[in-house]
Amino acid sequence: MAAAAKAIKFAYNGALANNLRKFTWNNLWGGREYGLLFHDTYFEPAPEVTEALRRLNLQEPHLFDQRKIRLSRAHTLALHGEKLPKAEWTQYENETWYLKPYLDEIEAEKKARAESSGLIPPYQMKQH
Amino acid sequence: MKTSIVTRSAAATKAHASKNLSTKLSNGLQVISKERSGAVSQLVLAFRAGSRYQSDKQSGLVHHIRNFVGRDTSKYPGISVVWSSAAIGANLTSFSTRDVFGVQMTVNRDHTDTALSILGHVASQPAFKAWEFEDVIPSVKSDLAFKNSYDYVLEGIHSAAFRQGSLANSIYAKRGEIGIYKSDDLNGFASKHFVSGNGVIVGINTNSQSLQHYADELLPINDGSNVVLSESPYKGGDFRRSGKGNDAHIILAGNGAAINDTNALAVQAVFLSHIGRVSPLKFATLPGLSSGLSKLPFGVAGSAFHASYEQAGLVGVYLLANGENANAAVKSAFNILKSPKIEDLEGSKRRAIAEIETNYADGANEAIQRAIIALGKGPGRNALIESIKKVSASDITQFAQKAFAKPSLASYGAISQIPYVDEL
């Protein structure tokens, strides 16, 4: 399971950055007691994230479904004012930053667009 | 992408007499370079990945792959690929036949190196991203909308002649097959076929050293061996498709020469030049008075037709008749094909050679032709011409007897009067 997290490359990968990441994930983010992964709580209405989720659904529908189930369970818990028992909280070792590859690709595409035609991508165009 | 050997200006075409090249690398990739002293380079990277390699459940797959060219590759987004090729003034096209799939770039000679680097990624590392299907599928639909009558009979003659064999697979997807393939299907096909042992890189008007250097060290192609061919022998049969209007488009064909059989190709070439092709002149419809097709009924236009693949081929005529004279046209064409009465053998041979030489002088599709011939292990121009010179009249009569022993007939349009093949 740690292998899934290890496959993701962050911009800062030193010891300090990794420790800081682990500390913030454990203490400053509130998702683990609801059984969520970090990218479950990413700001969905942002165009890049919406597009990344659309691509996740198309390419890895299984992961998209699992995300949906985690969110549904978390929302039910929050609705009742409950949290999971400590043993069932998400562990840092099981964290997969599953949207990162898609987000990176979208950023690369934005850069490529800016360097070439300069047109904005379709998912950023205003929906009428 | 610059190498240490770069041709910088048009003056270089006069200064550097670039050698012709035809080798096979250690990973199995064939490299072909030909110097034509032209200003435009034609670059082709092609694989034995045509529609004949589709399995029964993959009908229409190569059409989707063909239309995916220009989209994301594994390393570069599609936008960058297309924009950079436009920036150097290159044309990027994909093509596929039943045997071969490839990508061609034509570019001003000065930018060959950049074009090669783009070509390598586009042809051998397509990514087939799942979210690009919705952009590609409308292009497949529009390909079908632009099919004309000749395309219908061309696909039909293959399905008639090869029946359930793999050569009967159409290069087009059927309407109901559009969009049924997913990323994994395309990636599976690509990983099997877009490998070095299965491919050829052709450069016309490029510096052969830089082409070889690129193919040796810089081409991002996966290693792999060539794909084994499944046999698809000629069988013979009918294909009929009715259509509106009074025109009848007909292809009457027989068992032709395979692409690697030089002698048979030579005999077939002389046979077809006797049969006659429609004149390239603007208001001339019929081939010459001494040609085979001059014996067709009045009002019927005809032109010789052939298609050569690995291990099989088709040879015959394409007729354009109308609803009334279609019957007479087909019967007369069959007699012309089966028993050709060649009055002027030397003339036919010379016309066949002239056709090959004119084709060579034209050069517009030379890179694609060389790629197809290299992948099919076909003969070069000179070998074919030498073989043509040795053709005798008895060769041709034997060829015609054998080819049309079991003919195939494909028709589209006003087909009510067209006979079936067993009535001929």
| Cβ separation A117–B79 shorter than 8 A | yes
pLDDT at B74: 94
Range with the lowest mean pLDDT among A4-8, B23-27, B167-171?
A4-8
What pLDDT is stored for residue B191 in this prediction?
96
Could you confirm whether domain B238-423 is CATH 3.20.20.70? Answer: no
Token code pair at residue A88: 């069932």
The string of pLDDT tens digits covering residues B314-357 is: 999 999 999 899 999 999 999 999 999 888 899 999 999 999 99
Contacts of B133 in chain A (CB under 8 A): 58
Give the CA dihedral B8, B9, B15, B17, nearest 10 degrees.
Answer: 70
B138 vs A: CB within 8 A = no
Q: Give B302-305 contacts, CB < 8 A, sequence gap 24+.
A: B302/B276, B302/B278, B302/B329, B302/B333, B303/B276, B303/B277, B303/B278, B304/B272, B304/B273, B304/B275, B304/B276, B304/B277, B305/B251, B305/B253
Q: Which of B75, B76, B79 to mutate to test the interface with A (most CBs of A within 10 A)?
A: B79
The DSSP result for B324-375, as a single string, is TTHHHHHHHHHHHHHS---S-HHHHHHHHHHHHHHHHHH-TTHHHHHHHHHH
The Cα B204–Cα B370 span in angstroms is 9
Q: Is B56 exposed, middle or buried (0-12, 13-18, 19+ CB in 10 A)?
A: exposed
Residue B285's pLDDT band, with cuts at 50, 70 and 90, is low
Backbone angles phi, psi at A50, to 5 degrees: -60, -45
Fold for B2-218, please state it.
Cytochrome Bc1 Complex; Chain A, domain 1 (3.30.830)
**Contact indicator for B291, B284 with CB cutoff of 8 Å:** no
**Joined tokens for residue B154:** 């061309």
**Integer angstrom CA distances of residue B165 from B27, B229, B231, B234, B266:** 30, 12, 7, 8, 26
Smallest Cα distance from A107 to chain B, Å: 11
Q: How confident is the model at residue B16 (pLDDT cuts 50, 70, 90)?
A: low
Q: What rounded mean pLDDT belongs to chain A?
A: 91
Q: Which residues of B touch A115 (CB under 8 A)?
A: 80, 83
Tell me the three state secondary structure of residue A6: helix
Residues in A whose CB is inside 8 Å of some CB of B read: 54-55, 58-59, 105, 108-109, 112-113, 115-117
Contacts of residue B409, defined as CB under 8 A and 6 or more positions apart, other chains included, come to: B157, B160, B238, B239, B250, B251, B252, B253, B330, B418, B419, B420, B421, B424
* pLDDT of B283 strictly over 80: no
Give the side-chain half-sphere CA count within 13 A for A82: 10
3-state secondary structure of B192: helix
Residues A59, A61: Cα–Cα separation, whole Å: 6
Helix (H, G, I), strand (E, B) or coil at B188: helix
Rounded CA gap, A38 and B166, in Å?
A: 50
Distance CA B213, CA B126 (A): 22
Q: Is B419 exposed, middle or buried (0-12, 13-18, 19+ CB in 10 A)?
A: middle
pLDDT bracket for residue A127 (50, 70, 90): low
Which three-class secondary structure state does DSSP give residue A93?
A: helix
**Residue pair B77/A112 in contact by the 8 Å Cβ criterion:** yes
Residue of B nearest to A121 (CA): B79
Confidence of residue B146 (pLDDT cuts 50, 70, 90): very high
Contacts of B83 in chain A (CB under 8 A): 112, 115-117
Q: What is the pLDDT of residue B115?
A: 96
Mean pLDDT, range A29-37, rounded to an integer: 95
Rounded to a whole number, what is the distance in Å from the CA of A39 to chain B's nearest CA? Answer: 20
Arithmetic mean of pLDDT, A31-47: 96
What are the distances in angstroms from CA B369 to CA B25, B118, B137, B138, B292?
20, 21, 28, 29, 27
B1 pLDDT more than 90: no
Q: Do domains B2-218 and B238-423 have the same CATH topology?
A: yes
Helix H, strand E, coil C: the string for B370-412 is HHHHHHHCCCCHHHHHHHHHCCCHHHHHHHHHHHCCCCEEEEE
Query: Which value does ipTM take for this structure?
Result: 0.86
List b or e across B3-23, with b for residues whose CB sees 16 or more CB atoms inside 10 angstroms.
beeebeeeeebeeeebeebee
Chain CA centroid to CA B237, Å: 23
* A112–B131 CB contact, under 8 Å: no
DSSP SS3 for B239: strand
- Classify residue B286 by its DSSP letter: S
Partners of residue A109 in chain B, C-beta under 8 Å = 77, 79
Q: Is B79 at the interface with chain A, CB within 8 A?
A: yes
Range with the lowest mean pLDDT among A43-57, B188-202, B271-285? B271-285
Q: Which residues of B touch A59 (CB under 8 A)?
A: 129-131, 183
Asked whether the beta carbons of B246 and B322 are under 8 A apart, the reply is: yes
Q: What is the pLDDT of residues B310-324, one digit of tens each?
A: 999 999 999 999 989
Contact state of B131 with A108 under an 8 Å Cβ cutoff: no
Q: Which of A10-24, A56-70, B184-198, B273-287 has the lowest mean pLDDT?
A: B273-287
Per the listing, tokens 């590759």 go with B73
Nearest to A59 among B76, B84, B130 (CB): B130
In sequence order, the β-bridge partners of residue B42 are B106, B204
Nearest to B130 among A55, A109, A113 (CB): A55
Domain locations along chain B: 2-218, 238-423
